[in-house]
C-alpha cells in the first residue's frame, strides 16, 4: 500500500504531495499538498459542488461550504471565458484537441461527437 503513494511523492518536477517525518519509533509521516498540489483543491471543490446540487449528503444541507475569507460570501467553481472573464454555461462548453493531443485523443473527439 505504501508503494501506491511513491509515484506521487517522488520526483521534484511532478511532486504534488510532500512528505514530512513528524515522529520516529515508529516512523510516522505527514502528507501535505505542495504549491503545485493545491490546484487539486479546485477539483475537490467542484466535486463537492456536484454533491451539494444533487443533495448527496442529506436534506439538512452540505457538510462543507467554501467561502471568500474576506467577505464571507459563498463561492462556487465556474467555467469562465479566458479573455473576457464572462461565465460560460456548461452547455456551451466543448472539448477541442490542443497542441499536445495525440491520435487517440483526436479519435476520441471524433468518435464521441465532441
**More confident: 19 or 57:** 19
DSSP for the chain reads -HHHHHHHHS-TTT--EEEEEEETTTTEEEEEE-TTGGGHHHHHHHHHHHHHHTT-S-TT--S---B-TTT--B-----B-TTT--B--GGG------TT--HHHHHHHHHTT-
pTM above 0.75, yes or no: no
pLDDT digits (tens, 9 = 90+) for 56-86: 777 788 888 899 999 999 999 999 999 999 9
User: What is the reported pLDDT for 8?
Assistant: 46
Amino acid at each position: 500500500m505504501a508503494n501506491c503513494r511513491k509515484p506521487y511523492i517522488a520526483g521534484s518536477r511532478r511532486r504534488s504531495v510532500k512528505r514530512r517525518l513528524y515522529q520516529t519509533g515508529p516512523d510516522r509521516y505527514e502528507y501535505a499538498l505542495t504549491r503545485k498540489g493545491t490546484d487539486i483543491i479546485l477539483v475537490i471543490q467542484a466535486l463537492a459542488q456536484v454533491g451539494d446540487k444533487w443533495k448527496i449528503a442529506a436534506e439538512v444541507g452540505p457538510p462543507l461550504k467554501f467561502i471568500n475569507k474576506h467577505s464571507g460570501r459563498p463561492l462556487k467553481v465556474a467555467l469562465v471565458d479566458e479573455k473576457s472573464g464572462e461565465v460560460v454555461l456548461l452547455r456551451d462548453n466543448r472539448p477541442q484537441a490542443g497542441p499536445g493531443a495525440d491520435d487517440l485523443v483526436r479519435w476520441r473527439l471524433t468518435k464521441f461527437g465532441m
